[in-house]
Amino acid sequence: MAPMGIRLSPLGMAVFCLLGLGVLYHLYSGFLAGRFAFFMLSDAAGGGPEAPRGAVDLRELLAVSVLAAARGGEEVKRVREGNVLHAKAKGKTREGAEEQLTTGDLLSNRRMFYLLKGAFPAVQINSEERVDTAEQDTVPWDRTIPEDIKQKIQPKEVPAESVTVWIDPLDATQEYTEDLRQYVTTMVCVAVNGKPVIGVIHKPFSSYTAWAMVDGGSNIKARSFYNEKTPRIIVSRSHAGKVEQVARQTFGNKTVIIPAGGAGYKVLALLDVPEKNQEEADVYIHVTYIKKWDICAGNAVLRALGGHMTTLTGEEISYTGSDGNEGGLIASINMNHRALIEKLPDLEKTSHK
C-alpha cells in the first residue's frame, strides 16, 4: 500500500508564504529604517557620510569656534552696557596685581564652553574660568558653516584625542572694568598635538572677528609696511617701563612704545585690521609669565599668516600640559624674528619674575 501524502491547497500555500513574509518584515524593517535614518541625518549634518568615529573636522571646529567667540562676546557686551559687572578680585598675579572677575567673564565662559562641548564632546577644552557644572547650559549648534569659511577652508579630519581647545571668554578684564572697551576680546584657539592651528579673535564692542587656520586660509591679512630698524613695540600697560629702556637702548631713541591692554588686541595690532581705534605695531613683547589661553589664538593667527610667536629666547610654545607660559613672548610678522630675539637678550631675565 502506497504511503499517504499530504497536499496543501493553493490557498494554504499562499497563507503560509504571507506569514513568512510578515515575520521577515517584522525582523528587518526596523533595522533598515534605522540605517536609512542614520545616513539621512549624517548627510544633513555634514554634507556627506559621518566622519570616522573619534575624528574631528577642523573646518567644522573653526566654524563653531567663530560662533562661540561671537556668542561669548554678546554676553560681554550686554553685561558692560548694563553696568552689572559685579567685579571682584579672584586672586593676584605673580607681580602682585589683583586679577578681576566679572559677570561678563562668567556668562561668556558658560556660553562658549557649552557650545563647543555640545558640538565636540570628545575634545578637551581648557578655559580661563572654572565651569560650574551645576549651571550647565545647553547651547546647540546647527552645524552651519559660514560661506566665507566654506570658500577658503577644505574639510580636514584629525584624531579627537590630538585636539586641545583653549578659550578666553574675556581678554583684558582689567580694562573691561575701566570701560576701555577697545582692548576687550573673546578668543578661541585649537591646538593639534600642541601646535596652534586655528585662531579666532573677536571684538565684542565692534563685532569684528579675525580668524585663521594654518595651511588653510583666513579672513585677515598682515600689514604691508614694517619698520625693523626702529619698530613700534606694543606691550602690556603695566610692563611699558620694563620694556622701554631696553628697547630704546637696542633700537634707538626713536623707538615707539605702545602700552595696551589684552593679548588679543596686541596681536591684532600687528595685522591689517579695518578699525580706526586699532593701534598699529611692528612687534609685540610680553616680559612676564602669561597664560596660554591669552596667547594661543593670536599664535595660531600669526602662524597661519607666516608670522611668529615664541618665548623671548626663541622657543616654540607648546599648548599642552600646564596652562602657563614661563618664558615671556615676542611676536612679529614679515620681519626677521630671529634677529629681533638676538637684539633683546636681556628681557628674558625678567620673564620669570
Domain ranges of the chain: 55-219, 222-349
Per-residue pLDDT tens digits for 160-194 = 999 999 999 999 999 999 999 999 999 999 999 99
Predicted confidence (pLDDT) at residue 94 exceeds the cutoff of 70: no
* Burial class of residue 36 (count of CB atoms within 10 Å of its CB; 0-12, 13-18, 19+): exposed
Check if the beta carbon of residue 286 is closer than 8 Å to that of residue 312.
no
Domain 55-219 maps to which CATH number in 3.20.20.80, 3.90.1150.10, 3.30.540.10, 3.20.20.70?
3.30.540.10
Average pLDDT, the chain: 84
Q: Is the dihedral of CA 318, 322, 327, 329 positive or negative?
A: positive
Going by the DSSP 8-state scheme, the letter that residue 68 receives in this structure is H
Give the integer Cα–Cα distance in Å for 31 and 40.
Answer: 14
Residue pair 176/101 in contact by the 8 Å Cβ criterion: no
- Answer yes or no: is 142 a known binding residue: no
Could you tell me the CA-to-CA distances from 309 to 17, 29, 338 in Å, in that order? 74, 58, 11
Chain centroid to Cα 263, Å, comes to 14
DSSP state of 182: G
Crossing angle of helices 103-119 and 58-82, in 10° steps, is: 160
pLDDT of residue 28: 44
- CB of 41 closer than 8 Å to CB of 143: no
Question: 170: annotated binding-site residue?
Answer: yes
Query: Which amino acid makes up residue 267?
Result: V
What are the E-state strand segments in the chain? 55-57, 88-92, 98-101, 124-127, 157-159, 163-171, 185-192, 195-203, 208-213, 217-218, 232-236, 256-260, 283-286, 290-291, 308-310, 324-325, 329-332
**Does the pLDDT of residue 23 top 70, yes or no?**
no
Place of cell 551645576: 134
Residue 31 has pLDDT above 80, yes or no: no
**pLDDT, average across residues 334-346:** 84
Q: Please tell me the least confidently modeled range out of 47-56, 225-234, 261-270.
A: 47-56
Cα angle: 128, vertex 132, 136; to 5 degrees: 115
CATH code, 222-349:
3.40.190.80
Residue owning grid cell 608670522: 307
% of the chain surpassing 90 pLDDT: 63
Strands 290-291 and 283-286: unpaired
344 in a labelled binding site: no
Residues 6+ apart with CB under 8 A from 23: none
| Residue 168 assigned to a binding site | yes
Catalytic residues: 105, 173
- The Cα–Cα gap between 234 and 243 comes to 10
Reference 189, options 39, 81, 281, 300; nearest CA is 300
In the numeric block, which cell numbers belong to residue 308? 611668529
Poorest-pLDDT segment among 211-220, 243-252, 270-279, 343-352: 343-352
Q: What is d(CA 51, CA 137) in angstroms, rounded to the nearest whole number? A: 26
Q: How far is residue 291 from each of residues 97, 250, 297, measured CA to CA in Å?
A: 15, 27, 12
Of 77-81, 201-205, 286-290, where does mean pLDDT reach its minimum? 286-290
179 is annotated as contributing to ligand binding: no
* Helix, strand, coil shares, percent, the chain, to 5: 40, 25, 35
Q: Residues near 226 by Cβ (< 8 Å), separated by ≥ 6?
A: 282, 333, 334, 335
